[in-house]
Structure 1
Amino acid sequence: MRLRSLLFVPGDRPERFDKALASGADAVILDLEDSVSAQNKPVARDAVHDFVTRRATDATLVIRINPLTTSACEDDLVALGNINPFAIMLPKAEGAASVRQLAGRLSSAVPILPIATETPAAIFEIGSYRDVASYLFGLTWGAEDLPAAIGAATAREADGRYTAPYELARSLVLFGAHAAAVPAIETVYPDFRDLDGLAAYAARARRDGFSGMMAIHPSQVEPINHAFTPDATEIAWAEKVVAAFATSPDTGVIQIDGRMLDLPHLKLAKRILEAGKLAHEG
């Protein structure tokens, strides 16, 4: 399954649910946490329950619940216990222990997508996700809650780049996801009007090894999908690399267009072809 774009929609705005599905996003995240006020959470639970009941069989729906340590989480799990979304997004996750705790409280085996960087303690647990990889469908991060938790003024430089602590958090999640052999999902780009900046941000994410990205507005979906879909030039290069190694199975190094390529390049080529295949099938 391709998961290039995952679009958030507030759980208390059911009139937006079908619009989110029509946006072209590979998955829709129905949010019960930050985008929903405390007084609206019961309404949001009902709306999400009804929508997932109707659409879970023909749409990729993820539900972001409230943090495990809150009473709102318990209410979420009770209200949603008899439905089967594609996955549950777990905010404020703190490593394998959080995943095991949530898995034990779910009424069925639903894959989990932890947000792995929202508390200081969470940073030190990122390597543990490989111990619970069978419960996961991916790993992602956020750059908003952690600065607030430690009293930082911002996570970004004036030009939009992350400051050093948050580049570290991003990198740890990227490596943590690959260590667990699950998709690494890039965090959101907050300025939904800046589509050029979004395109550059998403391209950087794919370059670095992320396989998809979260979105906060339907206008962001197409640029994200484009960034995470290999183009014809990439596909042609990958096919050439795979074919060259296939004709010389006993060698670890080949030459293509004046460049020496070894087995890591073959691995990259196969990843590109797999991503292209998933995009074509979608």
Structure 2
Amino acid sequence: MRSWILVPADNDKALDSVAGAGADVVVVDLARAMTSTQHSKARIETTNWLRSHREQVVAARRFERWARISGLDTPHWREDLDAAMDGSPHGIVLANCRGTDDIRQLASVLYEIEDRLGLAANVTRIVPELGSTPSVALTVNRLTEELHPRVSALTWDAVGLAHAIGARRLRGPGGRWSDALAHVRAQVLLIAHARGIGALEHPFRDTRDTDTGKRVAEAARADGFTGMFAIHAGQLAGINEAFAPLDSELAEARSIVSAFATNPGASQVALGDRRIGQNDLQRAKRLLGED
């Protein structure tokens, strides 16, 4: 899943048009700042949109349906979750995730809701949004040791962390992330690859500068990210192009899958002059769309 677009749950126009925008994943965003009245209406819109797009007859390409909910440190996260789950989404993006305890709690509630709605157990995946505060940023590495099996990818919150530490910029000279943000970004990327799951880059905020947005996406792919968030449909083409696999990458991925297929049950196999493991296999399957 290369391109993930965040769509405001309270923006009817954006919701109406996003199905044909070309995203691999549409994330209806309930975690935005809204008044109580707006939030209540947005939950209804979220449920309706997720339900109405189960059958993607008119979409230009098939996409997954996700929802982003408020962090578990807020009083209304459960209402967000209930509204999203009534639409049977493929997964939940958890804003302001504070770590393994939040993921474990969300997973437990998801299990109860799935049982109540008659959904298959553990069918709803989780993408935690990490690093929103300094204290969380310093404990991200704990996910290396403990990560719930529902978690299919990791992402991070550059803007939230910048606000939390009073930073006046996200990037320094040459477009490089400032040191504190780069630290969190690197941890998220490394942990995702260590656990054999996806790593999703933070969205580029300037929706008018499509050229720079594409270069940012290309840099994220070059650094090892597997996908990226967009906040406007105009960013999707650049992200999809930047993350499109090269022919050489596809050929190698097929070779990895084939090597393991001929050695069922093996934890490692030889491929050329190197040894490859299960993380390599998972990455290859993800590249081929077999995950």
The bucket for the TM-score relative to the shorter chain is 0.7 to 0.9
C-alpha separation in 2, matches of 1:205 and 1:53: 33
* Aligned residue in 2 for 1:205: 220
Contact 1:230 1:275 (C-alpha < 8 Å) held by counterparts: no
C-alpha separation in 1, matches of 2:255 and 2:288: 16
Structure 1 residues 67 and 17: alpha-carbon distance in aligned structure 2, compared to 1, 3 A threshold: same
Across the two proteins, how many residue pairs are aligned to each other?
264
Match of 1:90 among 94, 97, 111: 94
Verify: 1:277 aligned to 2:288, yes or no. yes
- Aligned letter for 1:28? V
* Residues 2-17 of structure 1: pairs in structure 2 closer than 5 A: 3-17=1-15
Q: What stretches of structure 2 of length at least 5 have no aligned partner?
A: 57-62, 115-121, 261-268
* Aligned residue in 2 for 1:258: none
- Aligned letter for 1:125? T
Verify: 1:31 aligned to 2:19, yes or no. no
Match of 2:128 among 90, 108, 114: 114
SS at match of 1:135: coil
* Residues 1-282 of structure 1: pairs in structure 2 closer than 5 A: 3-34=1-32, 36-56=34-54, 58=56, 59-106=63-110, 107-108=113-114, 109=122, 110-130=124-144, 131-232=146-247, 234-235=249-250, 238=252, 262-263=274-275, 274=285, 277-278=288-289
Structure 1 residues 252 and 65: alpha-carbon distance in aligned structure 2, compared to 1, 3 A threshold: closer
Contact 1:142 1:188 (C-alpha < 8 Å) held by counterparts: no
Contact 2:198 2:225 (C-alpha < 8 Å) held by counterparts: yes
Structure 1 residue 98: Cα displacement? 0.7
- Aligned letter for 1:15? K
Structure 1 residue 34: Cα displacement? 2.1
Contact 2:29 2:67 (C-alpha < 8 Å) held by counterparts: yes
Q: Which one has a bigger Cα radius of gyration?
A: 1
Q: What is the percent sequence identity of the aligned residues? A: 30
C-alpha separation in 2, matches of 1:28 and 1:114: 16
Structure 1 residues 12 and 239: alpha-carbon distance in aligned structure 2, compared to 1, 3 A threshold: closer
SS at match of 1:114: strand
CA RMSD of aligned residues (A): 3.0
Deviates more, 1:131-140 or 1:30-39: 30-39
Structure 1 residue 12: Cα displacement? 0.8
C-alpha separation in 2, matches of 1:141 and 1:53: 28
- Aligned letter for 1:112? I
- Aligned letter for 2:46? V
Q: What stretches of structure 1 of length at least 5 have no aligned partner?
A: 255-260
